Amino acid sequence: MSTKAVLITGANGEIGHGLVSRLTEKNPEINIVAIDVHPLSKTLQDQCHEVIVGDIMDSSLLDRLAAFYDFETIYHLAAILSTKAEREPVLGHRINVDGTLGLLELAARQARATGENVKFLFPSSIAAYGLPNVAVKMKAGKVKENEWLDARTMYGINKKYCEDLGRYYNWYYRQLDPQQTTAHVDFRGIRFPGLISAVTLPTGGTSDYGPEMMHYAAQGKVYDCFVPESATLPFMVMPDAINALLKLEATPAKNLTQVVYNIGAFSVSAKDFYDVIKKAFPSAHVNFKPDVLRQKIVDSWPADVDDSLARKEWGWSHEFDFKRAFDEYLIPAVKNRYGK
Ligand code: SER
């Protein structure tokens, strides 16, 4: 008999780190199967039923998993972020799109075999949006899910397309088959803002200047910030991002009218970050040295998002506003991490 389990791809990444711990805290009996191309830290390994150092593009690996497990939920977190995908667009497309397609097929196969829906939680991004310039962006304010969808980066285009794939697998998969299956992939996506964790640093993203500024300051290192002081994006701390994934996962499907939702917490400029960091680490030093090409990507992402649908349909609400995020989570945790 197959073991019931939860699959997490990209488990060693920023979201994965927080998610594994929260899932085992909630349910110590949970069977987590974790995949990552990099080995997981020892503490995470101990919380998982099986850990696989491997590539989501390895179809024989996915076949083996399908044979041994019944996945009730898949958190598909593995991705190449925006800056890295811009430097290696074909690799970005391969991992972000082909990789997601392989996982959706695995989920569909499992739903067919077990007759139970398989929940598929997918982190999408504010990169799915594309505003033409900074003036339009600042005027647009909080954008809704169906506005400004001309993404400009390979990563953003990949995420948007995977949202569409999710919609397809959810509602129209194999719609011409004479025998329709009863169970399906229950795809649920969240367009995350820039995420900030006190425990890990992002790799290869464009919103990375926020978290990098803080981690550099805590280590007493000078930070060259690649956007100007005025650059503004929505951000959120990792505990809220994990809460959102768990909350959306737990929501009855009948409450959900969409396959993807915005969520927001606070919208701040690079200067706002610097001001709060400087207060906590008075010796922090940031040189604002905009890289105009990376800045253009930030300029094409919304300054803020309208998350009223998530609030209404699945009760989303953030716990950490900007002040609380720094006072109660980020500053104490990074001080502790770097022994300050
Ligand atoms: N944080 C991501 C990036 O910068 C966007 O979702 O690529």
Report the C-alpha gap between 68 and 66 in whole angstroms: 6
Query: Does 20 reside within a domain?
Result: no
Distance 298 CA to ligand 1 centre (A): 10
23 belongs to a structural domain: no
d(CA 121, CA 230): 33
**Is residue 87 a part of any domain in this protein?**
yes
How far apart CA 267 and CA 194 sit, in angstroms, is 10
Residue 101's region, left for phi above 0, alpha for psi from -120 to 50, else beta, is: alpha
Q: Are 260 and 191 in contact (CB under 8 A)?
A: yes
Q: 28 is written with which tokens?
A: 């110590």
Residue 138's closest CA among 226, 233, 262? 233
194 lines ligand 1 (CB under 6 A): yes
Cα–Cα distance for residue pair 107/156, rounded to 1 Å: 23
The boundaries of the domain holding residue 134 are 79-197+236-265+302-322
Does 140 reside within a domain?
yes
Phi, psi of 259 (to 5 degrees): -100, -10
Query: Considering only CA atoms, which of 245, 250, 299, 293 is closest in space to residue 270?
Result: 299
| Domain assignment of residue 206, yes or no | no
CA 150 from chain center: how many Å? 20
Q: 98 in a domain, yes or no?
A: yes
Under the banding of pLDDT at 50, 70 and 90, the label for residue 51 is: very high
Tokens of 197: 């964790």
234 lines ligand 1 (CB under 6 A): no
pTM of the predicted model as reported, rounded to 2 decimal places = 0.97
User: What SS3 class is residue 52?
Assistant: strand
Residue 275 tokens read as 């001001």
Note the pLDDT of residue 203: 87
The per-residue pLDDT for range 248-306, each reduced to its tens digit, is: 999 999 999 999 999 999 999 999 999 999 999 999 999 999 999 999 999 999 999 99
DSSP single-letter state for residue 152: -
Q: Is the CB of 205 under 6 A from ligand 1?
A: yes
CA distance 153 to 149: 12
In a domain, 331, yes or no: no
**Ligand 1 centre and the CA of 38: distance in Å?**
20
Residue 231 phi, psi dihedral angles, 5° rounding: -60, 130
Closest-lying ligand 1 atom to the alpha carbon of residue 194: 1
Average pLDDT, the chain: 96
Q: Which atom of ligand 1 is nearest to the CA of 193?
A: 6
Which candidate, 25, 233, 247, places its Cα nearest to that of 119?
Answer: 247
The pLDDT value given to residue 339: 81
Which parts of the chain fold into alpha helices (H)? 14-26, 42-46, 59-68, 82-87, 89-93, 99-114, 134-140, 154-171, 209-218, 238-250, 270-280, 292-300, 308-314, 322-324, 331-337
14 lies in a domain?
no
Binding site membership of 125 for ligand 1 (Cβ less than 6 Å): yes
Query: Is the C-beta atom of 127 inside 6 A of ligand 1?
Result: yes
Between the CA of 122 and the centroid of ligand 1 the distance, in Å, is: 14
Residue 78 has pLDDT above 80, yes or no: yes
Nearest CA to ligand 1 atom 2: 205
The DSSP annotation for 69-102 comes to EEEEEEEE-----HHHHHHSHHHHHIIIIIHHHH
**pLDDT score recorded for residue 202:** 87
DSSP 133: S
Q: What percent of the chain has pLDDT above 90?
A: 96
Q: Which amino acid is at 241?
A: A
pLDDT score, position 279 = 95
Which pLDDT score is estimated for 129? 98
In whole angstroms, how large is the CA radius of gyration of the chain? 20
Calculate how far, in angstroms, residue 200's C-alpha sits from the geometric centre of ligand 1: 14
Does ligand 1 lie within 6 Å of residue 300's CB atom? no
pLDDT-based confidence at residue 179 (cuts at 50, 70, 90): confident
Q: What is the pLDDT of residue 115?
A: 95
Q: What is the CATH number of the domain that holds 162?
A: 3.40.50.720
Give the contacts of 122 (CB within 8 A, at least 6 positions apart).
76, 100, 162, 163, 166, 187, 188, 189, 190, 260
Enclosing H/E stretch for 179 = none
Domain count, the chain: 1
